[in-house]
A and B are shown apart, each in its own frame.
Chain A
Amino acid sequence: MLYTILCYHSEAIVGGWSKAQDDAVMEKLDVVHQKLAAQGRLGPVARLLPTSAATTLRKDSDPPLVLDGPFAETKEQLLGFYIVDCDDLDQALEVARELGQANPGGAYELRPIGVYHSSTLPIDANP
């Protein structure tokens, strides 16, 4: 089984860390990453930019509504995610709109990635 581990924390607290504090946390996490990677069990890892950099595409209206800020509703739940290479927000929105046509309803939150490590899983790893 492949598991996603979604990271939650208070952005105001994490954003308030000094560079030294942030580096220290990342270093400790990296020890765990290295261990999992050596076992071939680590998929892609991403650290997202702050929610202030987020844009939300509501795809339950036609045309879909673009809103500034992160997805904030609690009536819907996180069901999956994509990582797509885009030149800018407009291109990312284009992708999201296309996905939204294939699967209307709900919303997509578009959030740029700050730190990205590619997968160390074997290519054919199945859930």
Chain B
Amino acid sequence: MSDLAWLHGALAAARPQAMAALLRYFRDLDIAEEAFQEASLRALRNWPEKGPPRDPAAWLILVGRNAALDSVRRKAREAPLPQEVLISDLDDAEADLAERLDGADYRDDVLRLLFICCHPDLPATQQIALALRIVCGLSVGEIARAFLVGESAMEQRITRAKARVARAGAPFETPGAAERAERLAAVMAMIYLLFNEGYSASGGEAPLRSALCDEAIRLGRLLLRLFPAEPEVMGLTALMLLQHARAQARFDAEGAIVLMEDQDRTRWNGPMIAEGLALIDKAVRHRQPGAHQIQAAIAALHARSPRAADTDWPQIAELYRALEHHMPSPVVTLNRAVAVSKTEGADAALALIEPLGERLSAYFHFHGVRGAMLLDLGRSAEAREAFDRAIALARTPAEAAHIRQHIDRIQAEAAQGSTK
């Protein structure tokens, strides 16, 4: 790996901690960002020559803070502070700062940085865009490409989001336990939204947008370092790892959806699955089940099955029932119905699905699943109707193409029947 790749890796790794500390110091997102950028520029000039500092985050905080103060003072026509070339020799200052960073401050700093991106007034897409820009450090261009919009549109979106956050004022007092739990829940929800932005992409977009999944997993791991004993954080990170592990097998060469039961399981990512399973293992020991853990446990059962036929459907149906209890939603019931269809048959599944019609009438998967159950029971005409409604609601060409296959099969069977 080249020096430059190492440098960029080190800068990206130090970013959340450094940005979080600079934000606490300056209490202004723009100044914190400028300070971090200036420090990064100086690091690019300085580190290759002098070697990387012992603690890159501490170096960036110190240099960023001084550079920002320097520029303020320069504007005030005062004497500048020493340059970073001198500062980086002041090992004591760096060590002192590094020591202070180790404290609980660091955890609340980074949580705050993530939390200000989750302002309830910001629409989900703006929360995610802001987190990608501020915490992950993606460029506006990179974010725009992942969201499939123009760069200037994304620039505006982020500027508006920042202005909104600035007006709201970031919460700088140290949070109490209840407040910290609330912030953590909001941040976890935002991270899972970010993950799903990438995960729900399909076809030609999928490779571009799967970077969003990588960033979400990175944030999940960051959160785990801050809260190593929170089972729901373990569950969330495990869930994302186990789902993203299937990325290579979810679409065929033409970009068409490959259902889990038809996926080539040798293309699933082994190390990601191993990490996800290990996290679930740890979470279960706490005996505090939550929605993320249960979903991860379901994903784990799929990941543990060498072949689709080995899937433990009774256990999955049971877990969906538990999930309904933690997170009541017709979509969860729909998923339980799919598991029930494997254990008790399409009849039992359809009985669960029909009452959801009113609430899920505009949901693609509702009609798709319902059609598949009807087809299974030989009720082709009704199945055809359900598939037609599904196609009308498809959000991506891959979804539409998948339903089209069912319809083609019904038509082929009908044609065969009439020639008999």
Q: Which residues of A contact B (CB under 8 A)?
A: 10, 12-13, 15-17, 21, 24-25, 49-53, 55, 66-69, 88-90, 112, 114-115
Contacts and interface: CB of A to CB of B under 8 A. Distances in A.
B282 A55 contact: yes
B221 interface: yes
Contact of B278 (A12, A13, A49): A49
Given A10-B13, A49-B274, A114-B275, A89 B5 contact: no
Nearest to B286: A68
Nearest to A68: B229
22 contacts: A13-B6, A13-B9, A15-B13, A16-B9, A17-B1, A21-B5, A25-B1, A49-B274, A51-B225, A52-B228, A52-B237, A52-B279, A55-B282, A68-B234, A69-B229, A88-B281, A89-B281, A112-B274, A112-B278, A114-B271, A114-B274, A115-B271
B332 interface: no
Given A50-B275, A90-B285, A12 B229 contact: no
A116 to B, nearest CB: 11
B10 interface: yes
A53 B279 contact: yes
B224 interface: yes
Contacts of A50: 221, 275
Contacts of A17: 1, 9
B352 interface: no
Given A17-B9, A52-B228, A52-B275, 16 more contacts: A13-B9, A15-B218, A15-B221, A16-B9, A16-B12, A52-B224, A52-B234, A53-B278, A67-B229, A68-B229, A69-B229, A89-B278, A89-B285, A90-B285, A112-B275, A112-B278
Shortest Cβ-Cβ A-B pairs, 10 listed:
A12-B13, A69-B228, A53-B278, A68-B229, A89-B281, A52-B224, A112-B278, A13-B9, A68-B228, A13-B13
Interface in B260-276: 271, 274-275
A50 B217 CA distance: 13
B229 A16 contact: no
Contacts of B5: 21
Contacts, number: 64
Contacts of B224: 52
Contacts of A53: 275, 278-279, 282
Contacts of B218: 15-16
Interface in B214-253: 218, 221-222, 224-225, 228-229, 234, 237
Nearest to B284: A89
Contacts of A66: 285
Nearest to B233: A52
A21 B6 CA distance: 10
A52 B1 contact: no
Contacts of B271: 49, 114-115
Nearest to B230: A68
B228 A13 contact: no
A87 to B, nearest CB: 10
Contacts of B9: 13, 16-17
Nearest to A21: B1
Contacts of A88: 281
Contacts of B228: 52, 68-69
A64 B282 CA distance: 17
Nearest to A115: B271
A90 B271 CA distance: 20
Contact of A16 (B13, B234, B274): B13
Nearest to B275: A49
Contacts of A51: 225
A101 B171 CA distance: 48
A56 to B, nearest CB: 10
Contacts of B234: 52, 68
A91 B93 CA distance: 46
A55 B14 CA distance: 25
Nearest to A56: B228
Contacts of B13: 10, 12-13, 15-16
Nearest to B5: A21
Interface string B5-19: 110011011100000
B12 A52 contact: no
Nearest to B14: A12
A13 B10 contact: yes
A31 B271 CA distance: 21
Contacts of A67: 229
Contact of B282 (A12, A89, A114, A115): A89
Contacts of B225: 51-52
A24 B229 contact: no
A69 B1 CA distance: 29
Q: Which of A25, A68, A90 has the most CB atoms of chain B within a 10 A radius of its CB?
A: A68
Interface in B264-317: 271, 274-275, 278-279, 281-282, 285
A50 to B, nearest CB: 6
